[in-house]
Structure 1
Amino acid sequence: MDSLITAAARALATGDPLGALNRVALRNDPPALALRGIAMAQLGDLVRARALLQKAARAFGPKEAVARARCVVAEAEIALVSRDLGWPTKPLEAARVALEKHGDWVNAAHARHLEVRRLLLIGRLDQAEHALAELDPAPFPPAWLAAHELVIAGIAMRRLRTKEARAALAAAERAARDACIPALLTEIESASRALNTPAARLIARGEERPLLLEEVEALLASKALVVDACRYVVRNAGTTVSLPRRPVLFTLARALAEAWPNDVSRSTLLARTFRAKHADESHRARLRVEIGRLRKALRPLADITATKDGFALAPLRARDVVVLATPVEEEHGSVLAFLADGESWSSSALALALSASQRTVQRALDELAEAGKVQSFGRARARRWMTPPVAGFTTALLLPASLPGD
């Protein structure tokens, strides 16, 4: 490897893409193409970056398996940043195996980190934790160690382990300062803000207030009966009743919890659950059926008693009943939560992350675009959607892996 290629690689490693381009911008040999691609990615031109990396991978000879594998890993990182979550994972897995076979453990670990970050984005936390557990961060250089700690923090925040998340972010910041890469420090600061902005709302006894992620963790560990509108479950003292596929029952449970210790009139329940402005006997009969189903579902946690005007929730062991809701509630709020990270998403990537059909997500995006809440650029498969981050609350930390009714 000649001195210009070495100098360009060192510039990229320290977050200086312009310095790298100054050395290899006019060269078209495979190593230069690969470095130019990485530099363009750092500068934000992801389309050009991907094209350069693909050209470099084709140009490397059959004996240069490590170089080709590194190009595949770089292309996978671009796909992740551009939220192309449908990018095939088999080439990345093959590249990781090739790097391990040839002793390039650092780039192999980077490939594994990309796999974990993708799993984290689509809500597969168990798989992400299992994959991350296979890595030993001890030999990592500072930049890779910072990335490793960022992944640990991301999983911990999704798992509501805030103490672990703060420790990982602190370790990531120390490693990033050792690496002297400003972009990495910015990413860590952005992740840290998620712990210091409201992640949910607490609704109880007719009042509501915002909660930080630490407060959410404490609430779920308390003895209160929590109707969790972020994950569509009802929980208390380690017992959880999951209702993500039964939206009518969850709507009834939330209405009863918001009114506790008072009851909720039948007319209010009909209007809120079935949107029936003028209820007839069929609506009232259906309400009785659904209340019976909810009573059966909540049997380990609470009873539902009939009152003169309606129904009331009666917890079996808990002394308090609260509702945990997302910071902002509106139609298609889950789509907006993912777009609020400031990145550009394709409709297929959003569908994968939300476990919804692409057509459902596309309809939601069209409605949000008509309301001026999101915007798109590009056409056909290159079309991407984005919105400025919504100030004052975290994005997708508490979203369920799947939506009710999908």
Structure 2
Amino acid sequence: MDSLIIAAAQALASGDPLGAMKRVALRDDAPALALRGIAMAQLGDLVRAKTLLKSAARAFGPREAVARARCVVAEAEIALVSRDLGWPEKTLETARAVLDKHGDRINAAHARNLQIRRLLLIGHLDEAERMLAKLDPSPLPPAARASHELAVAGIAIRRLRTEQARGALARAAEAARKAGIPALTIEVRDAARVLDAPAARLIAHGRERLLSLGEVEALLSSGALVIDACRNVVRSGGEVVSLASRPVLFTLARVLAEAAPADASRAVLLSRAFHARHADESHRARLRVEIGRLRTALEPFADIGATTHGFALTPHGKRDIVVLAPPVEAEHASLLALLADGESWSSSALAIALATSPRTVQRALDALAATGRVQSIGNGRACRWMMPPVVGFPTTLLLPGPLPSD
């Protein structure tokens, strides 16, 4: 490998893509194409970067399996950044195995870290944790170590383990400082802000207040009866009853909890759960049926008793009853929570992350675009969706994937 290639690689490692381009911009050999592709990715031209990396992979000879595998890993990183979640995951795993077989531990570990970050993005936390347990971060250089610690922090944040997340973010900040890459330092700093940003609203006894992630963690471990409107579940300590597929029951539970310790009137319950402006006997009969179903579902936690005007929720023991709601409640909130990361997403990637159909996502995007909350860039298969970051909008509790005890 000649001196210009080595110098360009060192410039890229230090976060200087322009310095790398000055050395290899006019060269079309395979190593130069690969370095140009990585430089273009760092400069933000992801389409050109992918083209150059594909050309470099084809240009490397059949005996240069390691070099081709490195191009695949770089292309996978671009796919992750551009939210191309349909990019073939098996291709990355094959490249990682090749790198590991040939002793390139650093790039093999980087490939594994990309796999973990993708799993985290689509909410597969259990699988991400299993992969993380197999990854030895010790050979990673500072920049890759910072990325690894960001993945550790991401999983801890989604699991509501705030102290573990703070430790990982502190290690990521130190690794970013050693790497000397300003963009990486900013990424770590922005990730750390999530811990102190409003994550939810606590509604109890007719009052509301904002909670940080740490306060949410303390609430969920306090033993209180929590009607969790972020996941549509009812939880107390380690016990969880999911009502995500039963929206009427969850709405009834939330109305009863917001009114506790007093009762909720039948008129309010009918209005909130059935959107009934003028209730008739059929509505009241349905309310009795749904209250009976809710009484059965919440039997481990509380009783629901009839009163003169409606129904009252009474917890077992001396538990508090609280409602945990997003700080901003809006239609298609989970979709907005994904877009709030500031990246541009394709509708297919959003469908993968939310585990729903592309048509459902596209209808939601069209509705949000009509109100100006999201915007599209590009046309056809190149169309991407994004929104400006919204101060205070929840991006953690509404993201795909389980929370503790789910």
**Taking structure 1 as the reference length, what is the TM-score of the superposition?**
0.97
Q: Is the Cα–Cα contact under 8 Å of residues 233 and 242 in structure 2 kept in the other structure? A: yes
State the secondary structure of the residue aligned to 1:262: coil
Query: Matches of residues 62-211 of structure 1 in structure 2 within 5 Å?
Result: 62-211=62-211
Q: Is the Cα–Cα contact under 8 Å of residues 199 and 212 in structure 1 kept in the other structure? A: yes
Q: Is the Cα–Cα contact under 8 Å of residues 225 and 236 in structure 1 kept in the other structure? A: yes
In structure 1, the residue matched to 2:212 is 212
State the secondary structure of the residue aligned to 2:148: helix
State the secondary structure of the residue aligned to 2:235: strand
Shift of 1:267: 1.2
- Give unpaired runs (5+ residues) of structure 2: none
> 2:157 is aligned with what amino acid?
M
1:211-237 deviation per Cα after TM superposition (whole angstroms, max 9, x unaligned): 100000000011211011111111112
Q: Is the Cα–Cα contact under 8 Å of residues 333 and 398 in structure 2 kept in the other structure? A: no
Q: 1:397/1:28 Cα in 2 relative to 1: closer, same or farther (>3 Å)? A: farther
Separation of aligned partners in 2, 1:105 and 1:92: 15
Separation of aligned partners in 1, 2:153 and 2:322: 28
Residue 305 (1) aligns with residue 287 (2): no
> 2:385 is aligned with what amino acid?
W
State the secondary structure of the residue aligned to 2:314: strand
Shift of 1:247: 1.1
Identity, % of aligned pairs?
A: 72
Shift of 1:238: 1.6
Query: Matches of residues 4-403 of structure 1 in structure 2 within 5 Å?
Result: 4-401=4-401
> 2:49 is aligned with what amino acid?
A
Q: CA RMSD in A?
A: 1.1
State the secondary structure of the residue aligned to 2:197: coil
Q: Is the Cα–Cα contact under 8 Å of residues 334 and 398 in structure 2 kept in the other structure? A: no
Shift of 1:398: 4.2
State the secondary structure of the residue aligned to 2:209: strand
Q: Is the Cα–Cα contact under 8 Å of residues 116 and 131 in structure 1 kept in the other structure? A: yes
Q: Is the Cα–Cα contact under 8 Å of residues 199 and 398 in structure 1 kept in the other structure? A: no
State the secondary structure of the residue aligned to 1:345: coil
Separation of aligned partners in 2, 1:267 and 1:381: 49
1:221-277 deviation per Cα after TM superposition (whole angstroms, max 9, x unaligned): 112110111111111122111111111111111111111111111111111111111
Separation of aligned partners in 2, 1:130 and 1:307: 50
Q: Is the Cα–Cα contact under 8 Å of residues 230 and 400 in structure 1 kept in the other structure? A: no
Shift of 1:317: 2.5
Separation of aligned partners in 2, 1:208 and 1:328: 12
- Give unpaired runs (5+ residues) of structure 1: none
State the secondary structure of the residue aligned to 1:202: strand
Q: Is the Cα–Cα contact under 8 Å of residues 348 and 358 in structure 2 kept in the other structure? A: yes
Separation of aligned partners in 2, 1:103 and 1:181: 27
Shift of 1:318: 4.1
State the secondary structure of the residue aligned to 1:61: coil
Shift of 1:397: 4.1
Separation of aligned partners in 2, 1:244 and 1:399: 14
Q: 1:400/1:41 Cα in 2 relative to 1: closer, same or farther (>3 Å)? A: closer
> 2:223 is aligned with what amino acid?
K
Separation of aligned partners in 1, 2:318 and 2:325: 19
State the secondary structure of the residue aligned to 2:202: strand
Separation of aligned partners in 2, 1:394 and 1:333: 9
State the secondary structure of the residue aligned to 2:304: strand
Shift of 1:139: 2.1
1:300-344 deviation per Cα after TM superposition (whole angstroms, max 9, x unaligned): 001111111111101012431101111110111111111111000
Q: 1:242/1:318 Cα in 2 relative to 1: closer, same or farther (>3 Å)? A: farther
State the secondary structure of the residue aligned to 1:240: strand
Q: Is the Cα–Cα contact under 8 Å of residues 230 and 399 in structure 1 kept in the other structure? A: no
Separation of aligned partners in 2, 1:374 and 1:318: 45
> 2:369 is aligned with what amino acid?
A
1:336-375 deviation per Cα after TM superposition (whole angstroms, max 9, x unaligned): 1111110001111111111111111111100110001110
Q: Is the Cα–Cα contact under 8 Å of residues 194 and 393 in structure 1 kept in the other structure? A: no
Shift of 1:393: 4.0
State the secondary structure of the residue aligned to 1:68: helix
State the secondary structure of the residue aligned to 1:222: coil
Structure 1: which 4+ aligned runs deviate by more than 2 Å?
A: 396-402
Q: 1:74/1:318 Cα in 2 relative to 1: closer, same or farther (>3 Å)? A: farther
State the secondary structure of the residue aligned to 2:390: coil
Which moves more between the two structures, 329-338 or 392-401?
Answer: 392-401
State the secondary structure of the residue aligned to 1:261: coil
> 2:126 is aligned with what amino acid?
D
